Structure 1
């Protein structure tokens, strides 16, 4: 019997079956077979989750920081103990290899650990005697019910960019995972319960656009966090803000690696392969374009190709595998279509992922191996558009200035990297490039949890990045209190107004 993935509302699985909201198949991307079904929430089921979160909010808001931190520490220990279980669910439904899935959980754990410091992070300011015997101080308070809408490519890490900080700050949370790989969210909910988080503080509603639209419109939802493609991020931002909500919506990316002639080309090749093909390229921080400054292009391509041909493609649960399948057949076909587009635009295929051998046979899985396109024309579709798969484009440029111009002229501004041994060039690059996250000889510059993650331009809608101190500010709002306490010997109230004898 195939598994059924339902909702987690008010501390329990709902036992829902595919009813009015319908259901969606859950595939094993390595075999192409249906492994289960996820229940798609109705408006009424979303409302039930929000209502549970609203009921839980007053009590959780008033729970002491010490008590909240104790719950977070217990959750952290449980998640660490069950990281292999979470990773196995991710591999089975997303397709990424187990080591990639473990890395995803580890990065999520970093945000949980950051949130464990919430007593320090919520400290306010205090000014004594702003006027005679008058003090002023600032505090930050939770918003209420907040929601997170997560993508398929990181079903554990991206939600953990959101809910640990939101919950630590005193909010209650409704998570809408991707319907493609929903199971990890339920295990996480069970771990929260075992950590003794009160019922209703963390809820999960599986679903599609119906659930998303209800969360964006629901009057009890005060803020929404989203990660996904740019068109949907723009929709979430515009719809959510139109309903008076605070919204942070992270969109797509087209990340470039600029390689200067003095760079260590072995380091560059290793970095390009890991950054381009890790998690099958299905990540917003993947390097998908290498800008090779003359004259290093030919040698660099040779080094990259030699490494790509040694990559082992296979199922995520096979320890030999270094790269798994793509998440769905439709997505695999879309990614593959860019190879023909690239050739039509003048690019040369030097490694064709459609022909890659797969450990254990191809079967009916959603396979596409690493692909390298050389001499990609600047400004072509393959160069500009987010492919979100294992396709690495090599663009030849004549100078640092030309490479920088191509990066800055793009519609996205998520991540970028420069590889050089020239400190002056690197410093100039970090100053001049119009991108939110920058690596210097680091291919995937994802910030640690105590900094914040987010890009510029069409990679971010809203003013606030996720996790770090910006995440704390997103999930709280400020108050400033001015107070006067009369001296006990005063004997009465004096507001300072003039009086008649």
Structure 2
């Protein structure tokens, strides 16, 4: 790894944090693998990055969206050329399977390509004037400097689906990634640098809470786009409220997959295995609850447990692995605590239930994929996000009760139903209190050109990965010209 990738990137230069402090980045699959020591930044570093972004703003804004899109296209091409390198880094520092990392690179490129294609659509409308010899129209202007605060679970895709629209809109940006996945974001920024993006347009500040708080507090920052936990998102929104800071918040999820009595159980089991245990359950759209009609529950569980018990836990770079490690010991401890809490609440562990006990995995963050039945609908496991490979199975007496249970949580990221009834499927889509809806397919995310959006406590502000994202990065103007 090139040494410069451990630094901040400000105004076109790779520089250390002012404090000189560093943070270790460790492979969650192998504690002995120290990837590197990365800059641990504070307020001074953030302020320098914001100053650089502010200085670069007028020229970048004046370039126009079509020319800005050319930089995105160049970055997408370079990312394609370095796809295997980037995927390997994602697996090493985040832990996910190499196949999942490759999928993330592909998804990230699709989002950038979709965003670049919006360049010729990023306009306003003409409107009738009430006076003679008058021309009336609307147009968009970028809001200015934006802070992009990204999580560790998709360390390439989520930063990119913030960076791409920010830059196309004419904003300049300061990216603050998770301290758990700093190298992936450094590679991302290096790719944009190689694509020729002017100095100061995209800046990188590595670090944790201090850097994030400084971004929110800096008066030159016009907006914060954040993906992460509900408590942190709420703190960002509250912290900037006094100055009317614009926020875009994509938060947690506690997603339900409903299995009706007429469901294709084989397909439902496939979807649950993919949705609950892919990426070790570390997705905001992960299937964390299976709400199952009691008339098919036993057969469903028999099939599901047989599948889950055969999932091999191991390092992401091992082709035989089917379940990757969780990202760090804190997430591992949280998953194990959730399992223990569910057992105290009356849940019965059908498979998994603890750390993976293989001796060769002792020095990693490995949790066995866990299925727990008889989970009360209002218990902690059925209500609160785990972000690990833990599935709660909740009984339902028919469709109406299943819908009620699915909507009983404070979150509303994803909702899924398996049924052979067309009318029931459409009714579920209408009744789900969630942003991304699925019928007879896995309930994780959506296509690159569909809004990544939640409802209730899962989302605040315009959705990402969609034309609606411009309502965050730009603001409207209207003009009337008499002649």
TM-score by length of 2: 0.96
Verify the 8 A CA contact 1:2 1:37 in the aligned structure 2. Answer: no
Whether 1:195 and 2:195 are equivalent positions in the alignment is yes
Q: Distance in 1 between matches of 2:41 and 2:144?
A: 22
Deviation at 1:82, TM superposition (A): 1.3
Q: Distance in 1 between the 2:75 and 2:340 partners?
A: 48
Contact 1:438 1:445 in 2 (8 A): no
Correspondence for 1:441: 440
Q: Return the alpha-carbon distance in structure 2 between the equivalents of residues 480 and 450 of structure 1.
A: 28
Provide the C-alpha distance between the structure 1 equivalents of 2:387 and 2:240, rounded to a whole number of angstroms: 26
- Which stretches in structure 1 are left out of the alignment for 5+ residues? 486-501
* 1:444 shift after superposition: 2.3
Show the 5 A alignment for 1:29-428. 29-33=28-32, 34-127=34-127, 129-354=129-354, 356=356, 361-428=360-427
Partner of 2:473: 475
CA contact (8 A) 2:156 2:184 kept: yes
The range that moved more, 442-451 or 201-210, is 442-451
In structure 2, the residue corresponding to 1:258 is in which secondary structure?
strand
Per-residue deviation, 1:2: 11
| Deviation of the 1:452 alpha carbon | 1.7
Q: Distance in 1 between matches of 2:228 and 2:154?
A: 10
More displaced 10-residue stretch of structure 1: 25-34 or 162-171 = 25-34
Retained in 2: the 8 A contact 1:314–1:321? yes
Give the Cα separation in 2 of the matches to 1:48 and 1:263. Answer: 57
* 1:302 positional shift: 0.9
Structure 2 residue runs of 5 or longer lacking an equivalent are none
Offset, 1:445: 4.5
- Structure 2 CA distance for partners of 1:379 and 1:21, relative to 1, 3 Å: farther
- For the residue of structure 2 that corresponds to 1:322, the secondary structure is coil
Specify the SS of the correspondent of 1:239.
Answer: helix
Q: Deviations over 1:115-141 (max 9, x none)?
A: 112333312101355421111001001
Q: How does 1:455-494 map to 2 (within 5 A)?
A: 455-460=454-459, 462-485=460-483
Moved over 3 A (4+): 1-4, 355-358
**Contact kept in structure 1, 2:287 and 2:444, CA below 8 Å:** no
Note the alpha carbon deviations across 1:225-258, whole angstroms, 9 max, x for none.
Answer: 0011111111111112333211011211100001
TM-score, length-scaled by structure 1: 0.93
Q: Paired residue for 1:11?
A: 12
Deviation track 1:278-304 (CA, whole Å, cap 9, x = no partner) reads 111111100010001121111111111
Distance 2:31 2:182 in 1: 17
For residues 325 and 445 of structure 1, the distance between their equivalents in structure 2, rounded to whole angstroms, comes to: 19
When Rg is computed on C-alpha atoms for both structures, the one with the higher figure is: 1
Deviation of 1:353 after TM superposition, in Å, equals 4.4
Structure 2 CA distance for aligned equivalents of residues 206 and 471 of structure 1: 25
Shift of 1:21: 6.5
Question: 2:257 touches 2:289 (CA, 8 Å); kept in 1?
Answer: yes
- Distance apart, 1:357 and its partner CA: 5.7
Provide the alpha-carbon RMSD of the alignment: 1.7
Kept in 2, the 8 Å contact 1:370–1:391? The answer is yes
User: Could you tell me how far apart the structure 1 residues matched to 2:66 and 2:408 are?
Assistant: 48
Preserved CA contact (<8 Å) 2:352 2:370: yes
SS in 2 for 1:354: coil
**Structure 1 residue 171: deviation in Å?**
0.7
Q: Deviations over 1:72-123 (max 9, x none)?
A: 1111111122122111111111111111111122222222011112333312
Measure the CA separation in 1 of the matches of 2:39 and 2:468: 34
Asked if the contact 1:2/1:36 (under 8 Å) is kept, the reply is no
Q: Which SS does the other structure have where 1:394 is aligned? A: strand
